[in-house]
Structure 1
Amino acid sequence: MTSPTPTGAPATTASPARAPQRRTLLSVDRVGRSFGDVRALDGISLDIAENEFFALLGPSGCGKTTLLRSIAGFETPDEGEIRLGDDDLLAMPPHRRPVNLMFQSYALFPHMSVAANIAYGLKREGLPKAEIADRVDEVLATVGLSSLAKRRPAQLSGGQRQRVALARAIVKRPRLLLLDEPLSALDRKVRAEMQLELKRLQHEVGITFVVVTHDQDEAMSMADRIAVLADGRVQQVATPVELYRNPANLFVADFIGSSNRLAGTVDAGHFVAPGIGRLPSDGTSDVAPGSEAHLVVRPEDLRIVPHGAGVLDGKVSEVQFQGGASTVAIAVPGQERPFLATVPGVAAQTRGSHVGLTWDSAVVVTDDRA
């Protein structure tokens, strides 16, 4: 694992050849929006490609929904530009933008059938009846609801209602589909199924999807790239793997997945933790000697070894079995938080065991944002 550079950009490493870069569809340039003294968006800049599944990820209040609403036309930025291809979106009223927003609540008409809900927007546009029927039939087949076309929303499951809302959004063939927490109303099992379904549908219909979520698992499983936001600013834009393996700062390292971290300094190419000493890390080469830094080790990279045989020693405080793997919490003297290690299957360790900890690689981040 390689470390980010001090500026927050991942260090250059050899990697397999990538597919040709797709053309930019949506460009957000230095967009700002304030509500009184609250700076909801603070100079946001993003480029989103054609046919990309892009996620805006961050905690509540980070600005992701304000950005989504600005793209849709329900918020007007104080400064900056938003362009869709050659079109200036900010110069267009919401109903003229080739953009559709799928709301969190789905907002289906309860008195209409599935087919009528999907056809509603096309009828408002005044399209011929034959074309409406053909497009509704096509999208019903795409989302797997042809047999339920005559049912009403109350007769559907949560996952089926979600598909109806998605069908209603894509039947108008927008260039860009915005989804605001689209799976939050579903239970865990259905949500996992719909994550795969959304990804399949996005590939099939060939529309650029931008999804807002606070659920990192949701973003990581669906998106081609993710923008992590905090305090109205973009912290990092990268693929799920790059975010996880090369976080640009401490906020991203903590927010994406679980991590074990130690505060310390960098000295002569080594990471030095107070009270512990020098620790293995291959991520210090781009960090200035004497700099304060944090060493981050993911739970799956932490190895449990016999007491005294590792670089740290501790005592097992908890073991959680989670099906295919177990999480072992190890209390290390002088550290406020226990270290977490992921081991396959059933853990051999038990509560109260004295163990050692070691790892092969780690990432060093220099940004103290937490």
Structure 2
Amino acid sequence: MTLLSINGVRRKFGDVTALDGVSLDIAEGEFFALLGPSGCGKTTLLRILAGFETLDEGTVTLAGDDLTKVPAHRRPINLMFQSYALFPHLSVAANIAYGLQREGLPKGVIKQRVDEVLERVGLAHAAKRRPQQLSGGQRQRVALARAIVKRPRLLLLDEPLSALDRKVRAEMQLWLKQLQHEVGITFVVVTHDQEEAMSMADRIAVLNHGAVEQIADPVTLYGSPATHFVADFIGANNFFSGTAVDDGLSTEVFGFLPARGGVTGPALLAVRPEQVSLTGDLLTGRVLDVSFYGGLSRVAVLVAGHDTPVLVHQHGAPRVAAGDAVKLGWAAEDAVVVRA
């Protein structure tokens, strides 16, 4: 069932168009991500949902109710800020209880709900500590606990993991996804980190220059990007330009290259480095560089007539060296033709 519906939302700041007719639906209980580079409009959209920003055109409805005229403090929506915004002079428990106290709930109810959420986020032992006595990951859990203790219909998260180091961020990605399933609240997360979005979200909307490029699950976004921008933004890709034909791309330099089609006219073929083989029959080149990253070898191949090296990813240790002549290829189902 659709919980949140965004239709034709536009927002301009002077001559700058932050959102240009954004439309998307988010289902009840879904973990949804707004993904895109800085300045693409994702945070503006989040602030509109929270009620901190107005829209110029369009509608936003939550469970069928129009939110456009509803002030932020009356929306069944919570926003977790990027900075966490914890009160430094209050304990962990007091930070979490603050919103419930503002609602005037009985003390017994507040204590019960705070204790429950502290247990859920694994911080029952730290209830009396101050935020400065916690690690970055623990502070993030406090901010999340404060957001979910009010039991909102929708929880908005603005770059929630950006302040954490890589190892802690990976742990928190898994924990955040597990928490969302446990509490059953619809999550909408804003991020510019594709890995973060791909690892956590059920579906992702990729934004660019204030417009939606594609909405899909992570597997579809990675394997079947709809546009050049999505193919380039999500993971690494090799691109070849030409004209779309049946079952592939026609190029001036390399002739026919096989791929999944679906578009017409000027187009680009996109093929992931892990799908390119060093024993194919489509292209010939010479190895420029080889880098080893533990379980993965990254091979850059110079191909005459191609502007940039073709990247090839191989599992395990490298099996070629710089200067080696190689032949490249891929299966048609592993490449996709997108609009130029």
* Structure 2 partner of 1:16: none
* Structure 1 partner of 2:235: 257
Cα distance between partner residues in 2 of 1:247 and 1:349: 30
- SS of the equivalent of 1:303 reads coil
- SS of the equivalent of 1:66 reads helix
TM-score, normalising length from structure 1?
0.89
Cα distance between partner residues in 1 of 2:245 and 2:71: 56
When structure 1 is superposed on structure 2, of 324-333 and 128-137 the one drifting more is 324-333
Structure 1 residues 271 and 170, CA gap change in structure 2 (3 angstroms) = same
* Structure 2 partner of 1:51: 29
Cα distance between partner residues in 2 of 1:87 and 1:269: 46
Identity %: 65
Give the partner amino acid of 1:223.
A
* Structure 2 partner of 1:297: 271
Cα distance between partner residues in 1 of 2:133 and 2:159: 23
* Structure 2 partner of 1:351: 322
CA contact (8 A) 2:35 2:193 kept: yes
CA contact (8 A) 2:249 2:257 kept: yes
| Cα RMSD for the two superposed structures | 1.2
Q: CA-to-partner distance for each residue in 1:240-277, whole Å, 9 max, x for gaps? A: 00111111111111111110110011345442222111
Equivalent residue for 1:81, pick from 59, 73, 79: 59
Q: CA-to-partner distance for each residue in 1:211-249, whole Å, 9 max, x for gaps? A: 000000000000000000001100000000011111111
Cα distance between partner residues in 2 of 1:255 and 1:35: 26
* Structure 2 partner of 1:37: 15
* Structure 2 partner of 1:317: 288
* Structure 2 partner of 1:101: 79
When structure 1 is superposed on structure 2, of 313-322 and 163-172 the one drifting more is 313-322
Give the partner amino acid of 2:281.
G
CA contact (8 A) 2:115 2:124 kept: yes
Structure 1 residues 321 and 24, CA gap change in structure 2 (3 angstroms) = same
Give the partner amino acid of 1:133.
K
Give the partner amino acid of 1:194.
M
What's the offset of the Cα at 1:353?
1.6
* Structure 2 partner of 1:138: 116
* Structure 2 partner of 1:11: none
Q: Map residues 12-27 of structure 1 onto 2, 5 A cutoff.
A: 23-27=1-5
When structure 1 is superposed on structure 2, of 341-350 and 197-206 the one drifting more is 341-350
* Structure 2 partner of 1:72: 50
What's the offset of the Cα at 1:319?
1.7
What's the offset of the Cα at 1:352?
1.9
Q: CA-to-partner distance for each residue in 1:132-179, whole Å, 9 max, x for gaps? A: 000000000110001111111111110000000000000000000000
- SS of the equivalent of 1:237 reads strand
Cα distance between partner residues in 2 of 1:366 and 1:344: 27
* Structure 1 partner of 2:226: 248
Cα distance between partner residues in 1 of 2:248 and 2:299: 27
2:328 matched to 1:365? Answer: no
- SS of the equivalent of 2:8 reads strand
Cα distance between partner residues in 1 of 2:246 and 2:47: 48
CA contact (8 A) 2:225 2:338 kept: no
What's the offset of the Cα at 1:300?
1.1
Cα distance between partner residues in 1 of 2:166 and 2:197: 15
How many corresponding residue pairs? 339
Cα distance between partner residues in 2 of 1:82 and 1:366: 31
Give the partner amino acid of 1:303.
S
What's the offset of the Cα at 1:86?
2.4
CA contact (8 A) 1:250 1:365 kept: no
What's the offset of the Cα at 1:280?
2.3
Q: CA-to-partner distance for each residue in 1:192-220, whole Å, 9 max, x for gaps? A: 00000100000000000000000000000
TM-score, normalising length from structure 2?
0.97
Cα distance between partner residues in 1 of 2:23 and 2:248: 35
2:312 matched to 1:341? Answer: yes
* Structure 2 partner of 1:199: 177
CA contact (8 A) 1:140 1:149 kept: yes
- SS of the equivalent of 1:279 reads strand
Give the partner amino acid of 2:337.
V
CA contact (8 A) 2:247 2:258 kept: no
Cα distance between partner residues in 2 of 1:132 and 1:366: 54
Cα distance between partner residues in 2 of 1:202 and 1:158: 20
* Structure 2 partner of 1:211: 189
Unpaired runs of 5+ in structure 1?
A: 1-22
